[in-house]
Homo-oligomer: A and B are copies of this chain.
């Protein structure tokens, strides 16, 4: 437990839940944004979806162990738990295109 919200300990992070969390393109995009831009205030996230849907996505990411949520007053700051995921499942975040570009993007860039 970290703060008031449930966060699994590193050793309890399950591949089933991580893969389920990453099977949604918006959740992968949130993870990629945290990777590229560092910790984010939840209110800064902008997707064309209902606020309740966004909250659901954030909860799935947090409960899977992909994301840490810190409550600061009235805001919530979210951070990718990259070290924990890398320790448990090496190269996974690269392979699912969170910490590495998609092969298509790599080709365009090259």
Contact surface of A with B, Cβ cutoff 8 Å: 15-17, 19-20, 22-25, 28, 88-92, 94-97, 103
Contacts and interface: CB of A to CB of B under 8 A. Distances in A.
Question: Within the oligomer, what is the number of copies of this chain?
Answer: 2
Contacts of A16: 23-25
Given A19-B19, A23-B20, A23-B23, A96 B92 contact: yes
Contacts of A90: 95, 103
A13 to B, nearest CB: 12
A25 B19 CA distance: 11
Nearest to A20: B23
A96 B15 contact: yes
A81 to B, nearest CB: 16
Nearest to A91: B95
Given A90-B103, A103-B90, A96 B23 contact: no
